[in-house]
Structure 1
Amino acid sequence: RGIPLGKVVDVVSKINTGGKYDSKVFQKSVGLNGVGTKAVNALSNFFLVQSVRDGQLKAAEFSQGQLVSDPQPQKTSQRNGTLITFQPDDTIFKNYVFRPEYLESQIRNYCYLNAGLAIHFNGQKYEAKNGLFDLLNDKTDPETRRYDIIHLKGEDIEMALTHGNDYGEEYYSFVNGQYTTQGGTHLAAFREALVKTVREFYKKEYDAADVRASIIGAISIRVQEPVFESQTKTKLGSINMEPDAETARPVRGFIIDFVKEHLDNYLHKNPKVAEELKRRIEQSERERKDMAGVKKLANQRAKKANLHNRKLRDCRFHLGENAKDGAEKEPLTTLFITEGDSASGSITKSRNVELEAVFSLRGKPLNCFGLKKKIVYENEEFNLLQHAL
């Protein structure tokens, strides 16, 4: 809708002039006081701000934060909005470049979090009509998804999840449009809520690791005056959804209640998805129990390997040992992996015995693609290599 025309210069150059000081206008935003715009202004050789409101255009030009031009408003037929053009100060940012892949990732996230928003960048249109559903749809392979993406929305919350075939957990968490790469209180509550809901739905105390194994999930919430654990805003620290302690809803309780109600309803209405989810959980349970025995065997082999690893020609110094006479050399240590004993012969003779170790593979190693963890753990060659590393 454009910056108020009488405040254009102040908003981009004076501290404490952000619109977010009015909590009724920006109740659930990430920025605090508009410092970002002012910082870009101060660090740019050329900075032009243009605001259009109700048929009037107001522009102001700056250089390194200093006002260069402040003409009077003019009539225009353009629609309401704000345009900012800037060129970074090359005396500060020498040889700077813009990274399109980073910008594209940011743009996609804005589109995922604002369904229907279209952003044009370098001639390409970015749009996500289905919010977080589109995020998971883009991030996962339809061939490996165990069931259709579950997509649920409510007031101040949106979530999506599915299970794949990869090991581990993969999450995308957002707060007021900010991508929290390190999670925080909202992601912890989301992970907890999934386990509680699944246990209650199936009436079985599944292990939490089995429920979340191979999961791909996304959650976005909107919080009033969010508190982050650092200025980079990568981890949410807020305990409550609102700042008023007396009436505030806890973040944990808000998310658990939402997931418990809506995910439970979804699984009841979609029995095929519920059945596939159950199969995925029980598969993870079987794999975990199988791995318990395999890991015991692997640990026994590890003890033997630690005593004598016949495939390894070791070096004197090792990273992390903090030897007094080799502290400076430790970061330089290297392990050469060769195919067969004959290939390692010449390297062994010419190496630096203090810093360079050699490990000989017995021909080509096992191709692990598509194999279960159990088979990989049982492979003696990988056991020896793992403990050599």
Structure 2
Amino acid sequence: MLYGAAAFRKRPGMYIGSTGPRGLHVLVYEIADRPVNGTPAGRAASVDITLTADGGVRVADDVAGEADGPGLEAWLTRTGPGTGFQGRDRVLLGGFGVGPAVVNALSRRMTAEVRYDGVLWAQEYARGAAVTPLTETGTTARNGTVITFWPDADIFGSAECSADALEDRLRDFVGFLDGHEAAHGPGDTIAFVHEDSRMAGVMDLAFRWCDRSGERVRSFANSRATLSGTHVVGFRDGVAAAVSTYARESGLLAPMDPDVPADRVGEGLTAVVSVKLDRPEFLGAIREQLGNIEARACVARAVREHLGQWLRADSERAAAVVGRIVAGS
């Protein structure tokens, strides 16, 4: 049976989901996971990610380092049971939570620089193994870690990281997604934060309709980007229910007409659907789908109530949004 770096290199898809660009991005997230989680706790003020000209990725932070004797090498070469997904304040940036050892194993080269307690330490690795000892290389007045890695072409071929994809993962706001298009839309943003004990968590949603085709819906669970999940299904359920109710009340739907289906509410829609749960359950190869069943009903109920109030507050604005959806259904 293979363990450690050998296992990661034998079946990389089990740990990062892909040996293409998507998998490369997971490597970046695994390195950035520790400083990103240090930011809410006040242990980190900055995380800087740079794509180097020679195909490497440099992740620098100002978190107190890992170099306490064997600490650095252990952090970069050993895996435990994973960090898990407990707690709504845990930012789930990486893949399986197995950490930087996966990145090290799948990199042809990795360098680590750690500034800790006035000392600058350095070490170099190749394909998961240390090739130099942990060395004291100077003094410093700052704390922080700089990890630079070059993904192994034997694993990833000619795949490259995308700066746009990394930037998109690390920032998502409705205003940013819409840009200037939103200024010409039929209504304002519906945004609310709501805690629901039935799903043991809190939801944070913002959405609006604009005068353009298609939809853009981004979803997150415990600050981790998700491709789909029960929170997204619940969001669509809630929108469809609120729109159907308002359409009947205003005469846009006849009594015998069917309700507006959830898959028809997205035309012109931009939304960010985020939940933070005490006990998130993730599905899929690299856990990008939320599976908590109770999240669907809770999000749907909250969206139905808030959107319903928004529609009833302005009949002209509501007619622009609901009329468009009903006409398309």
Equivalence for 2:67: 5
Contact 2:232/2:296, CA 8 A, preserved across alignment? no
Distance 1:195 1:53, change over 3 A: farther
Equivalence for 1:217: 271
Q: Does 1:83 pair with 2:143?
A: no
Equivalence for 1:151: 191
2:295 paired residue among 234, 251, 254? 251
Higher relative contact order (CA 8 A, sep 6+): 2
Instruction: Give the aligned residue type for 2:109.
Output: F
**Per-residue CA distance 1:187-212 (angstroms, 9 max, x = gap):** 00011122334455677396324655
2:167 paired residue among 107, 112, 122? 107
Contact 1:8/1:58, CA 8 A, preserved across alignment? no
Equivalence for 1:65: 128
Equivalence for 1:232: 286
Contact 2:181/2:211, CA 8 A, preserved across alignment? no
Instruction: Give the aligned residue type for 2:225.
Output: Y
* Whole-Å separation in 2 of the counterparts to 1:165 and 1:196: 22
* Whole-Å separation in 2 of the counterparts to 1:15 and 1:110: 25
Q: How does 1:343-354 map to 2 (within 5 A)?
A: none
Contact 2:215/2:266, CA 8 A, preserved across alignment? yes
Distance 1:16 1:190, change over 3 A: same
Contact 1:27/1:225, CA 8 A, preserved across alignment? no
Equivalence for 1:160: 206
Instruction: Give the aligned residue type for 1:278.
Output: A
Number of aligned residue pairs: give it. 249
Instruction: Give the aligned residue type for 1:8.
Output: L
Distance 1:33 1:82, change over 3 A: farther
**Per-residue CA distance 1:42-73 (angstroms, 9 max, x = gap):** 12222012334454444332111111221248
* Whole-Å separation in 1 of the counterparts to 2:152 and 2:75: 20
Distance 1:144 1:226, change over 3 A: same
Equivalence for 1:126: none
Distance 1:133 1:213, change over 3 A: closer
| Structure 2 SS opposite 1:141 | helix
Equivalence for 2:20: none
Scaled by the length of structure 2, what TM-score is found? 0.62
Instruction: Give the aligned residue type for 2:316.
Output: E
* Whole-Å separation in 1 of the counterparts to 2:87 and 2:247: 43
List gaps (5 residues or longer) in structure 1: 113-131, 240-249, 289-389
Scaled by the length of structure 1, what TM-score is found? 0.53
Q: Compare CA radii of gyration and give the structure with the larger one.
A: 1
Contact 1:27/1:224, CA 8 A, preserved across alignment? no
Distance 1:2 1:281, change over 3 A: same
2:160 paired residue among 74, 98, 105? 98
Instruction: Give the aligned residue type for 1:46.
Output: R
Instruction: Give the aligned residue type for 1:109.
Output: R
| Structure 2 SS opposite 1:208 | coil
Give the RMSD, CA atoms, in angstroms. Answer: 3.5
Contact 1:28/1:223, CA 8 A, preserved across alignment? no
Distance 1:92 1:199, change over 3 A: closer
List gaps (5 residues or longer) in structure 2: 1-62, 196-201, 254-258
Equivalence for 1:142: 182
* Whole-Å separation in 2 of the counterparts to 1:25 and 1:191: 23
Deviation at 1:33, TM superposition (A): 5.7
